[in-house]
Structure 1
Amino acid sequence: MKLKILFSVLLFATGITRAQHNMHMGKLNDSTRKDSTEVNHSGHKMGQMNTEVPMSHAYSLNLPMQRNGSGTSWLPDAAPMYGTMYHSKKWMYMMHGSVALRYTKQDLAEKGSRGGEKLDAPNWFMFMGQRKVGAKGLFHFSSMLSLDRLTEGGAGYPLLFQTGESWKGQPLVDRQHPHDLFSELSVAYTYSFSKKSDLTLYLGYPGEPALGSVAFMHRPSAMSNPDAPISHHWNDGTHITFGVATIGYRYDKLKLEASSFTGREPDENRFDFDQPLFDSYSARLSYNPTKNWALQISQGWIKSPEGLHETENVKRTIASAIYALPLGKKENLNATLLWGLNKTKGHAGENAVLAEATYRLNKLAVYSRYEWVQKSAEELNVNTDIFGNGSFGVNAFSLGINYDILNLGKFRTALGGQLSFYNTNAALNSLYGKNPVSGQVFIRIYPGLMGM
């Protein structure tokens, strides 16, 4: 049954890639028949102005598309852009996604009792569109779906030292939770006062508040890695939030945003729409000093994020720096440095540090990720009478490689592998073994690099 589900997901992904390619080519052929004038990437016809279709940032007519992150967050202007794009008369559409059919085994040497293994296929798919509204307005919609609940099951996939959310009333520990079928359904309107000044209103159900850096699956430095970071709930744990309202003002290289949103993380039913509460809030300052850098600092006050700990509210602080360096037409380097702090009343603050990078050369991608995360005994679901009430510092280092072996229209199929090395307090050796190592092999389908 599991193999049938995974095969169905691959067929679904392949069908999407072919449909996207056919739609793109159909639009292109129609455009060619109607008007032989070439179109460049500024959204204007060469030799004939066409201001109807904005090929701009999702939330600004005056910023480049490459700055699009997750939600309303920013990437560097020099970041590579993956996806497929096509146009109608007044609209610009874009599709993106990723599927990783893989076998993963945590604790390869079976030193401890908390490792697991699985044949699965983490996945997500996006469809978005935008159009101008009058001379200075921009309307944008975005949708993101995931079939994780079918490919991963309700308990998600095994991942040593990962924590967050629950299944059948029990906390998920050493597992990454599946994402909801509807991970984003959002709309936004931006009004441009000038080339340097924009005001944006963003509404999502679900959506992503102005809190933290770009979510891991949308960072160029992390896209090749099928695993979520074990610091997921220190940075992008709110990237699927059922009820978000954000207002943001940009002036030149700076943007200030404020959000009201639902603090509770998604419930165990991954197919429904949770109740919007708007009981939490956040603020974020973003700054892109050059085309190569995207910096942000943000803070959120999150009411009762975990359903199993309803009385615990979290104050979350995050700072990050994302770097992008194009080295050639098909060569680039992308890196992210991130720090997050979760503070709950009556508990010591828990920190997380992440540093990751991906080097891409034509068909080859080599990537790495290092994390240091403080996980409490409660978070790791261990007996506090034996292990105490303190926190444990977890070090995790992953090294992986992708190599493209096949093209499907605008999409690529890569063969890859990854090893992860862990180190933590010796007190946990009875559960995890000393310095456990995990590994995986995978086939990944993802969109090709867009020529910008």
Structure 2
Amino acid sequence: MGGVASAQADTEHLRGTVTKVAGATITIQATDNQTRTITIDPKAMIMRGNAHLTVRDVKVGDRVVLDVDRTGSVATGVELETAAAAPASRAPQSQPPSAQPSQAESQQRDHTQTPAQGWQSMQDGILFGTFNRQGSPRGDKEFVAQNWYMGMLMRKMGTGMLTLNGMFSLDPATVGKSGYAEIFQAGEALGGRPLIDRQHPHDLFMQLAGVWRIPVTDKTGFTVAGGPAGEPALGPVAFMHRASAAENPTAPLGHHTFDSTHISYGVMTAAVDHGPWVVEGSLFNAREPDEDRWNLDFGALDSVSGRVWFRPNDEWEFQGSTGFLKQPEELEPGNLVRTTFSGSWFRRREMDFTAIAAGYGVNHKDQGNHAGFFTEATWHRGMNSVYGRFEAQQPEISLLLTDAIIDTPETRALRGTVLALTVGGVRDFVHTHGFELGLGGNVSFYGVPDVLQTGRGFCGTTSCVLGAGYGSSPVSFHIFLRVRPPAPMGRMWNMRMSQPMLGHSMTTEHKAPALARGFPNALE
């Protein structure tokens, strides 16, 4: 066997001692006494025990196990061992006796790193303390604190992997029943009336779900997922999990065109993945949560959706999805058919990353079709982030103007597209014990269709309503403090419910790409 522990598919497992480090290129003396020069891939997962490291943590004298690609010169995964992990005769002479771990420490390292021997855990979250000032005569100003926390557990179960997801928010207390001000936003109800120009708060229980993936072959797997709270196979990654929206405290205007089902109280999903393709289908309860945000709003699983993902490499992913939503709105009768397409690109180099996403979606309703488009990006370098979002959204015009549901031929004929451009940035000023604190702000500029610029009256079957306009060019802004908790396993970016915690593959050779795509390894 020599220095090669095993060879499977396109990966060689190489064990040795680091003798030289030059940037991302290391020289090792393998256990067969051969000298090898290896370049560590920028997307490689680098670990010591349960800790994720960067290439800067690799030092001369370290004992390493490398996953080397078919060229024999690039490492796609790196595990740093302590001297006691190898036979004593091979221990580096420079290693002091005090650095030798105890047997209990070695057992703990093995326990936390190997899913087959126990649970692995992961967490992420965010808190925005936000001063919000919305422009136009219909705007508002306020201080709110949007937040969410998510935890995951994973372990081997039978021939597959079990992942348990829990996601929670205290928005009902820190934001309030009416949510936060956001002009042109609509989609839910409060007190028997439509909630207009405000983004609703998230529920306490955002996700309570389990995922079990069973490998069928080296390239194919079958996944079942579901729970009392979760998301169906519909739409792009929900906005709070998109790396391209990681620093933006506000929901997109197209939230109810793309990803409003990310909190569905009752979901069952099945998926098949093969190479770069994933095909998913869901049965779920599509009814919007009610205004009591502290409970679970169960309903019949009478809605259905399907989604196809294509990932040509670790940086790009595309999805197309469609779903039938039965009676989703509390105040507006009728069903809805939603169709979405999206693509995203995510590249990271150690602690820096660039993420871009774009999507098109349309809601088909009896009262008419309403489409939306978005593109957004986040650029992070060192302690600084810059982000932006552009949207073109077709709202329900009469709903925005009157705060009432008036379905007449006149209101159905009203059409218009709202344009919104947001640019912002965040400067991190504290990184301590895994916590990340940053100060940020953004400004939003709007293009308003003529029909929404001035007030207008509408008459229904029993009464008439006069609505106020938004003006021609409103401007909104936010100033916020952003706090993230420690995330030793990386941030939960580009996450979705039916994805196992460590990606689609159960083998080490595929962990690094999966983590690089959704769970960066060098943030701590």
* Common topology (TM > 0.5): yes
Q: What percent identity do the matched residue pairs reach?
A: 34
Deviates more, 1:115-124 or 1:380-389: 380-389
Match of 1:163, SS? coil
Match of 2:172, SS? helix
Q: Confirm or deny that 1:444 pairs with 2:482.
A: yes
Give the corresponding residue for 2:423.
Answer: 399
Q: Confirm or deny that 1:301 pairs with 2:330.
A: no
Match of 2:187, SS? strand
Contact map agreement 1:205 1:243 (CA 8 A) in 2: yes
Aligned partner letter, 2:341: A
Distance 1:199 1:44, change over 3 A: farther
Give the corresponding residue for 2:335.
Answer: 313
Contact map agreement 2:50 2:112 (CA 8 A) in 1: no
Contact map agreement 1:154 1:268 (CA 8 A) in 2: yes
Match of 2:294, SS? coil
Q: Confirm or deny that 1:433 pairs with 2:443.
A: no
1:263-287 deviations in Å (ceiling 9; x for gaps): 1011111011112310100000001
Aligned partner letter, 1:155: S
Superposition TM-score, scaled by structure 1 size:
0.79
Match of 1:160, SS? coil
1:318-346 deviations in Å (ceiling 9; x for gaps): 000011122x323221000100100012x
Q: Whole-Å Cα distance in 2 between the matches of residues 423 and 368 of structure 1?
A: 16
Map 1:323-338 onto structure 2 (within 5 A). Answer: 323-326=345-348, 328-338=349-359
Match of 1:93, SS? strand
Q: Confirm or deny that 1:119 pairs with 2:152.
A: no
Q: Cα distance, 1:379 vs. partner?
A: 3.6
1:103 to 112, 127, 131: 131
Aligned partner letter, 1:143: G
2:233 to 201, 210, 234: 210
Map 1:278-297 onto structure 2 (within 5 A). Answer: 278-297=301-320
Contiguous gaps of at least 5 residues in structure 2: 1-47, 52-61, 67-75, 87-106, 455-468, 491-519
Distance 1:257 1:246, change over 3 A: same
Map 1:354-433 onto structure 2 (within 5 A). Answer: 354-382=374-402, 388-389=411-412, 390-430=414-454, 431-433=469-471
Distance 1:189 1:280, change over 3 A: same
Contact map agreement 1:53 1:132 (CA 8 A) in 2: no
Match of 2:479, SS? strand
Map 1:38-77 onto structure 2 (within 5 A). Answer: 46=81
Give the corresponding residue for 1:349.
Answer: 369
1:81-133 deviations in Å (ceiling 9; x for gaps): xxxxxxxx5111001000000101000xxxx4310111011100001110112
Q: Whole-Å Cα distance in 2 between the matches of residues 140 and 228 of structure 1?
A: 27
Q: Confirm or deny that 1:269 pairs with 2:292.
A: yes
1:48-73 deviations in Å (ceiling 9; x for gaps): 799876789xxxx9xxxxxxxxxxxx
Superposition TM-score, scaled by structure 2 size:
0.69
Q: Cα distance, 1:427 vs. partner?
A: 2.4
Q: Whole-Å Cα distance in 2 between the matches of residues 426 and 387 of structure 1?
A: 16
Contact map agreement 2:189 2:291 (CA 8 A) in 1: yes
Contiguous gaps of at least 5 residues in structure 1: 1-24, 29-35, 62-88
Cα RMSD over matched residues? 2.7
Q: Cα distance, 1:227 vs. partner?
A: 0.3
Contact map agreement 1:43 1:55 (CA 8 A) in 2: no
Contact map agreement 1:44 1:51 (CA 8 A) in 2: no
Q: Cα distance, 1:388 vs. partner?
A: 4.0
Q: Whole-Å Cα distance in 2 between the matches of residues 285 and 51 of structure 1?
A: 36
Q: Cα distance, 1:440 vs. partner?
A: 1.1
Give the corresponding residue for 1:175.
Answer: 198
Q: Cα distance, 1:257 vs. partner?
A: 0.6
1:232-280 deviations in Å (ceiling 9; x for gaps): 0111100000000000000111010100000101111101111231010
Distance 1:408 1:164, change over 3 A: farther
1:152 to 170, 175, 190: 175
Aligned partner letter, 1:140: T
Distance 1:55 1:105, change over 3 A: farther
Deviates more, 1:199-208 or 1:405-414: 405-414
Q: Confirm or deny that 1:191 pairs with 2:214.
A: yes
Aligned partner letter, 2:307: R
Q: Cα distance, 1:428 vs. partner?
A: 1.6
Distance 1:55 1:261, change over 3 A: farther
Distance 1:306 1:381, change over 3 A: farther
1:154-187 deviations in Å (ceiling 9; x for gaps): 0000001111111111111110000000100001
Contact map agreement 1:54 1:132 (CA 8 A) in 2: no
Q: Confirm or deny that 1:90 pairs with 2:90.
A: no
Q: Whole-Å Cα distance in 1 between the matches of residues 221 and 294 of structure 2?
A: 35
Aligned partner letter, 1:365: S
Q: Cα distance, 1:292 vs. partner?
A: 1.2
Contact map agreement 2:401 2:452 (CA 8 A) in 1: no
1:389-439 deviations in Å (ceiling 9; x for gaps): 323210000000000011231120000010000111122222111110001
Contact map agreement 2:398 2:411 (CA 8 A) in 1: no
Q: Cα distance, 1:291 vs. partner?
A: 1.4
Q: Cα distance, 1:195 vs. partner?
A: 2.2
Contact map agreement 1:256 1:283 (CA 8 A) in 2: yes
Match of 2:183, SS? strand
Q: Cα distance, 1:27 vs. partner?
A: 7.9
Q: Cα distance, 1:223 vs. partner?
A: 1.1
1:277-315 deviations in Å (ceiling 9; x for gaps): 101000000010111101000001001111111x21110
Structure with greater Cα Rg: 2
